[in-house]
Structure 1
């Protein structure tokens, strides 16, 4: 069974499903010296409408980097399902108490011990410009067989579906 999209709306829906399933991502920002810097982040909203939300400290390096250069990449990997998403977009930082209340999860107290009253708590909003995803609905055994076959035949394995999505 293929998860291949039939139109742009289906492709966006598939990106949403893959992001929701992965939940943990790598947020890549550009440091002041031009280096790309990635760090793991927990996605705070499972419904994806083109915006991703994260909690952070306002004085963190990632927030300082976003203030200087808002272009970011957010990548998701779900190895259990053999799926990956790379999302390019623009980030902005700002605290919105109502949005923070909507997004808050008690597990966040590990990083923000005073909850929504944690000093310096802020939100990062990433607005997607585009996404690319790789989706391999086959099992790991089938994928390993495909790689083994490729090694013998010299032909690249079929790695599943790959689609670009614009927002």
Structure 2
């Protein structure tokens, strides 16, 4: 089967809430942690994750913006995304991606002191869906 489009992959990703975000630690090792996409699932190659500004993941991204995301869906569907991350500290951008479920973690909403948002722009996405696999290149 020919490679699927980003729209086809995005449709299968719609119900996946948690991704494993991998960064590079200060010593160069791969560091991974689960991150919720906060139901912001209209995937177009950009992913958004809220975190604390003083977290290790922010420090790692500021040292090396090359990251990866791993998603696991139902029925043997997997996606590995390579991309570039940036840290956003803009309240207006927070509000574009906020939903009330996030209040559990950040009680003052977008006014929470020390709030940051990670934006990841995918450069490529490799998928596996049973025996079908392929890759979509998004940016070069």
Name the TM-score, length of structure 1 as normaliser. Answer: 0.77
Higher strand proportion: 2
Does 2:100 match 1:129?
Answer: no
Does 2:81 match 1:110?
Answer: no
Q: Determine which of 86, 105, 113 is the counterpart of 2:80.
A: 86
The structure number with the bigger radius of gyration is 1
Which secondary structure does the structure 1 equivalent of 2:44 belong to?
coil
Once the two structures are superposed, residues 61-83 of structure 1 have per-residue CA deviations (whole angstroms, 9 ceiling, x without a partner) of 000000000000001011x3220
- Match for residue 66 of structure 2? 71
1:86, 1:133 within 8 Å by CA — same for their partners in 2?
yes
1:87, 1:132 within 8 Å by CA — same for their partners in 2?
yes
Which secondary structure does the structure 2 equivalent of 1:67 belong to?
helix
Q: Which whole-Å CA distance do the structure 1 matches of 2:122 and 2:52 have between them?
A: 22
Q: Which whole-Å CA distance do the structure 2 matches of 1:18 and 1:26 have between them?
A: 17
Shift of 1:48: 1.6
Name the TM-score, length of structure 2 as normaliser. Answer: 0.91
- Match for residue 148 of structure 1? none
1:11, 1:163 within 8 Å by CA — same for their partners in 2?
no
Once the two structures are superposed, residues 94-131 of structure 1 have per-residue CA deviations (whole angstroms, 9 ceiling, x without a partner) of 12222211211111112111111111101110010001
Does 2:17 match 1:23?
Answer: yes
2:79, 2:126 within 8 Å by CA — same for their partners in 1?
yes
Higher helix proportion: 1
Which portions of structure 1, spanning 4 or more consecutive aligned residues, are displaced by more than 4 angstroms? Answer: none
**Structure 2 gap segments, 5+ residues each:** none
**Structure with more contact order per residue of length (Cα contacts < 8 Å, sep ≥ 6):** 2
